[in-house]
């Protein structure tokens, strides 16, 4: 069943001293792919700024902008209307020998390599190898995500955006970012290419149309077992019409909703509001 969803994501900064210049990137434009159709998207900036769009190395749409007049506040709002469908699930499923062949491993090297957020870990690699012995690659993806879901406790504020998968696993606590990173450690340890997905999640599976609710930025994974497909380890379910994907990359560092550098200013207050509405 398909949904039509409106997402409004507003990020506001307040500085305790004027910022004289800033250079920024916003990743607030949903992806257009086989599961999603983007009907409308705009990114608004206050104070008004010159902006341009490009697609980054990983295929994520980026709105870049810079400000050269002193300002003490900055607000960036991404507004989108998207049609979504459930993920079709694994297709063209490969066996382990084919998946680990040199040609495939070379092609997906960046989605198999460790990163600061998704480091190698001997203990987790041992867990992953057990899954690989017992399951096909596609089944191993689901089993790994289920294991993360059962092993971790979801606790807001227990980690930060800088926490690695291994650090979160040590505490057995985290949020969706940590669940996704930890699942990627397991997938890459098995030789399954895996990528991090950022986006939004409507919290109600049976959402009433026309009702705006407090949404949330969300993260999940996509695995390649002959084709890319998504699974949400935080909620232990296949990606469906509630999910709106925005960015993909090796880990969170490749897909932050907003990042930049600035001159002047001082300490910063930050407020993020996500509103999501099922339209149809």
**d(C-alpha 245, C-alpha 240), whole Å:** 11
pLDDT band (50, 70, 90) for residue 216 = confident
148-180 b/e (C-beta count within 10 Å ≥ 16 → b): bbeebeeeeebbeeebbbbbbbeeebbbbbbbb
* Per-residue pLDDT tens digits for 2-11: 999 999 999 9
Residue 265 — very low, low, confident or very high, per pLDDT cuts 50/70/90?
A: confident
Supply φ then ψ for residue 164, to 5 degrees. -85, 165
- The three-class DSSP label of residue 149 is helix
CATH number assigned to the domain covering 3-85+257-278: 2.60.40.2250
Q: In the Cβ-directed half-sphere of 92, how many Cα atoms lie within 13 Å?
A: 9
Tens-digit pLDDT profile for residues 236-252: 999 999 999 999 999 99
- Looking at the chain, the domain(s) classified CATH 3.10.620.30 span 96-254
CATH top-level class of 96-254: alpha beta
Q: What is the structure's pLDDT at 268? A: 81
For the segment 88-121, what is each residue's pLDDT rounded down to a tens digit? 888 778 999 999 989 999 999 999 999 999 999 9
Taking CB atoms within 8 Å and a gap of at least 24, the contacts of 158-162 are 161/252, 161/256
Q: Do the Cβ atoms of 110 and 98 come closer than 8 Å?
A: no
pTM (predicted TM-score): 0.96
Query: Which part of the chain has CATH 2.60.40.2250?
Result: 3-85+257-278
- In the chain, beta strands by DSSP E: 3-26, 36-46, 50-55, 61-67, 71-84, 153-154, 173-174, 194-201, 212-214, 216-224, 228-232, 237-238, 243-249, 258-264, 268-278
Segment 176-180 shows an average pLDDT of: 98
Question: What are the distances in angstroms from CA 137 to CA 89, 96, 168, 222, 262?
Answer: 13, 6, 25, 13, 45
pLDDT level of residue 267 (50, 70, 90 thresholds): low
């Amino acid at each position: 069943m398909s949904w039509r969803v409106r997402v409004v994501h507003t990020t506001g900064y307040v500085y305790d001293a004027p910022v004289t210049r800033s250079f920024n990137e916003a990743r607030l434009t949903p992806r257009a792919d086989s599961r999603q159709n983007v009907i409308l998207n705009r990114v608004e900036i206050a104070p008004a700024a010159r902006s341009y769009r490009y697609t980054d190395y990983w295929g994520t749409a980026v709105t870049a902008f810079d400000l050269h007049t002193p300002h003490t506040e900055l607000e960036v709002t991404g507004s989108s209307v998207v049609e979504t469908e459930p993920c079709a699930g694994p297709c063209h499923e490969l066996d382990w020998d084919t998946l680990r062949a040199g040609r495939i491993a070379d092609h997906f090297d960046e989605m198999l390599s460790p990163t600061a957020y998704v480091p190698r870990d001997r203990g987790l690699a041992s867990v992953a190898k057990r899954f690989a012995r017992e399951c096909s690659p596609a089944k191993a993806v689901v089993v790994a995500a289920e294991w993360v879901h059962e092993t971790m406790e979801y606790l807001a504020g227990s980690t930060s955006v800088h926490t690695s998968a291994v650090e979160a696993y040590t505490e057995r606590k985290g949020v969706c970012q940590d669940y996704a990173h930890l699942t990627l450690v397991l997938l890459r340890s098995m030789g399954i290419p895996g990528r991090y997905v950022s986006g939004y999640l409507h919290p109600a599976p049976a959402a009433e149309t026309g009702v705006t609710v407090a949404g949330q930025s969300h993260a999940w994974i996509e695995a390649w077992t002959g084709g890319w497909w998504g699974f949400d380890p935080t909620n232990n379910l296949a990606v469906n019409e509630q999910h709106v994907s925005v960015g993909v990359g090796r880990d969170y560092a490749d897909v932050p909703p907003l990042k930049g550098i600035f001159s002047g200013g001082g300490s910063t207050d930050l407020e993020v509001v996500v509103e999501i509405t099922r339209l149809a």
